[in-house]
Amino acid sequence: MTQYNYKAGLRNVGSYQASGLPYVSGGIDATITDGTHIKFPAVTRWIIVSNISSDDLRVAYSANGLLNSAYFVIAGEDMSPRMEVRVTELHLSGAADVSVTAGLTSILPGAIDNRDLSPDGTNWSGSAGVNVG
The rounded distance, in Å, linking the Cα atoms of 111 and 3 is 19
9 inside domain: no
Q: What is the pLDDT of residues 8-46, one digit of tens each?
A: 777 778 887 888 899 999 999 999 888 899 999 998 999
118 inside domain: no
74 is in which domain, residue-wise? 15-111
pTM: 0.82
CATH of the domain at 99: 2.60.120.770
46 inside domain: yes
Number of domains in the chain: 1
7 inside domain: no
81 inside domain: yes
20 inside domain: yes
The rounded distance, in Å, linking the Cα atoms of 75 and 91 is 16
Residue from 113, 42, 81, 41 nearest 59 by CA:
81
130 inside domain: no
Lowest-confidence segment of 63-67, 70-74, 105-109, 125-129 by average pLDDT:
125-129
pLDDT score of 105 more than 80: yes
122 inside domain: no
